[in-house]
Homo-oligomer: A and B are copies of this chain.
Amino acid sequence: MAVYTDINEDQLKAFLAEYDVGTLLSYKGIAEGVENSNFLLRTTGGTFILTLYEKRVAPEDLPFFLGLMDHLSQKGLSCPLPVTRRDGGNLGELAGRPAAMISFLDGAWLRKPQAHHCREVGRALAAMHVAASDFPIRRENALAIGGWRPLWTLSRDRADEIQPGLKDEIDLQLDTLESAWPERLPEGVIHADLFPDNVFFIEDRLSGLIDFYFACDDVLAYDIAICLNAWCFEADGAFNLTKGMALIDGYEAVRPLASAEAEALPLLARGAALRFLLTRLHDWLITPEGALVVKKDPLEYLRKLRFHGQIGSSVEYGLRDMERAS
């Protein structure tokens, strides 16, 4: 739950004076988002989210994140729009932290998404990829495959505390993925963290995507692989083929996959599972108590990793057999 930094009325008043949003009516810390401090803010000019960027976000990345939201909004994608300050920028400082106001997006994230929601998610993900294709700023993915081994080194010696044999198993998976990782797939801006809590719905209609603070340049189909992990497994660990099919179908309705992308999905999904396993392991084993991290069960992603290792073809995720561009 995320209010790491409280703010007082004097600080907030000075911050708001840089915006043309009227008088402050209320602000409340909200218990969502795990990296930053977030407040729901009401002024006579509207409702906003105020975000104070805590130390897990690099200040030099903020023009990319805020610029991307701005770019996607201009293209008609429903996502938070950074509010422009009187000085023409969209980034300020509050309580010693970089801070921005973004528009409030109606909708709630689904605790129990169904297959038809997955279809909407696939559609929105593809629409984001298309809309971002001419976004001019670049941001390298620090958690791309090249970043996994250094991350793994930090928890490797203690991995067997979580489950005996885990060290050897991850060693093997990482070796395999590094040697087999697909190259020359279409790249672009990916969301990289499109979990259910980052997709809002109003009733059954997708109302918007939020939290672009992991967005970066990487393989587009890898973003689908992340979503397969995040949306298509049931609480008991089973993969839900109907959801997988809906997600991929929704994606392809907007941006059909080339044959190389379609073929790469099992490896990409395995990689995505390993990436979340490694960050969860690190948070679990290494990150000190009290840091800005919500610790989540690493073993959920070990089970997903094993599942993807058994997949022979993307058809098993629900990909349709069709003519594809090579």
Contact = CB atoms under 8 A, between A and B. Distances in A.
Given A8-B112, A9-B112, A203 B40 contact: no
A305 interface: no
A9 B111 contact: yes
A40 B8 CA distance: 21
Interface in A4-41: 6-10, 23-32, 40
B40 A30 contact: yes
Nearest to A7: B111
Interface in A256-274: none
Q: Give the copy number.
A: 2
A165 to B, nearest CB: 31
Q: How big is the A interface, by class?
A: 20 to 34
A98 interface: no
Between A9, A112, A200, the greatest number of chain B beta carbons within 10 A of the residue's beta carbon is seen for: A9
Contact of A28 (B8, B27, B31, B111): B31
A170 interface: no
A24 B200 CA distance: 12
A1 interface: yes
A29 B108 CA distance: 11
Given A40-B40, A111-B8, A112-B10, A30 B27 contact: no
A107 interface: yes
A107 B25 contact: yes
A202 interface: yes
B108 A27 contact: yes
A175 interface: no
Interface in A24-64: 24-32, 40, 42
B2 A31 contact: yes
Nearest to A12: B108
Contacts of A3: 1, 31
B31 A29 contact: yes
A161 interface: no
A206 to B, nearest CB: 13
Contacts of A2: 31
Contacts of A201: 9
Contacts of A28: 30-32, 40, 108
A2 B6 CA distance: 15
Interface in A75-121: 105-108, 110-112
Given A1-B1, A8-B111, A110-B9, A32 B32 contact: no
Nearest to A1: B1
A235 to B, nearest CB: 12
Nearest to A27: B108
A322 to B, nearest CB: 34
Contacts of A1: 1, 3, 29, 31
6 shortest A-B CB distances, which residue pairs?
A29-B31, A8-B111, A25-B106, A3-B31, A31-B31, A1-B1
